[in-house]
Amino acid sequence: MNKNYFEVLRPGINSTFQDNGRNNFYHIGIPFSGAMDNRNFLLANTISNNEINNPVVEFAYQGPKLKYIGENISINVTGDVNFKIIRKNKNLEFSCYENIILENNDCLDILSTNRSVYGYLSIGGTFEVDYYLNSCSTNTKAKIGANSGEKLKKGQIIHLKNIKKILPKNKIEYLNSKIENIRIIKGPHFDYFSKDAIDSFFSDEFNVTKLSDRMGIRLKGPKISNIKNTNIKSEGLVKGVIQITADGDPIIMLSDHGTIGGYPKIGVVISADYDKLVQIPPGSKIKFKEINLKDAETIFKLYEMETQNLISNIK
């Protein structure tokens, strides 16, 4: 057995291996997948001095409890997350966004996310995982990716490789800001909806329901009536597109979405708002705000600059 490994004492909720996803396979029905919150994924690997696309463990709401066996290793957790390390029966508390040393027989207990959904665990090294179509990203619906397309399981052994020498502390000050107004651009079927329906879509609030996962966010609120056709010929989908069901409810497609769909698409969430969108927990309220494509591109450039500034300020 590899001398460095984690034993899964508790798998947590929807804990999977992720990287930045598999591109260029939509034409054969393979979703993009990948880390839901791309900025926190990038920060996790950067703090660990890893390649940007190194596998991480993504978890939702509650993370795994892992017993570590092996030589000292650096880890870090990103997101708005509560966690502790249990060392010789003592609870040690740490902050996110900094390298922490795990010692032999330590237990890492990722307790919960704070008013958010996703968090990330990175190590100074590499999780030993399988790849499918050039990516380890786990899609549990399609059963593809690392871990045979499955979530982590109790009792599972996670082997580690390429362990780095203990890394510098590498810390960053980052506040995961919240968002309520989700900016979108018009979708291809915007004119399928009446003026009253459009006005309601942008002026009223929608509730994020519990029927939300890596495939999509289901919303409840005012019914968005369709004046043309509730069903269209199935056509391609993209991450962030908002479909309106036959019942008039919006669904926002996320990283593990199917590659085609047959509901009208009223809009698409701008890329710069996607990370914050996926962190909105069930029970929250959101509103939509329309912007044009040029503004969306400008905002995305600012988002990329902010991300690079964060990376540059890692100490």
Query: What digits encode the pLDDT tens for the residues 96-127?
Result: 999 999 999 999 999 999 989 999 999 999 99
Q: Are 122 and 19 in contact (CB under 8 A)?
A: no
Give residue 2's pLDDT.
64
Counting residues of the chain whose pLDDT is more than 70, the rounded percentage is 99
Q: In the CATH hierarchy, which fold is given to the domain comprising 181-312? A: Cyclophilin (2.40.100)
Show me where the domains of the chain are located.
Answer: 5-161, 181-312
pLDDT tens profile 174-197? 878 788 799 999 999 999 999 999
- CB atoms under 10 Å from CB of 203, counted, come to 10
Q: Give alpha helix (H) positions in 90-209.
A: 146-149, 195-203
Residues in a beta bridge with 261 = 235
The pTM for the full model equals 0.95
Confidence of residue 227 (pLDDT cuts 50, 70, 90): confident
Q: How far apart are CA 20 and CA 70, in angstroms?
A: 28
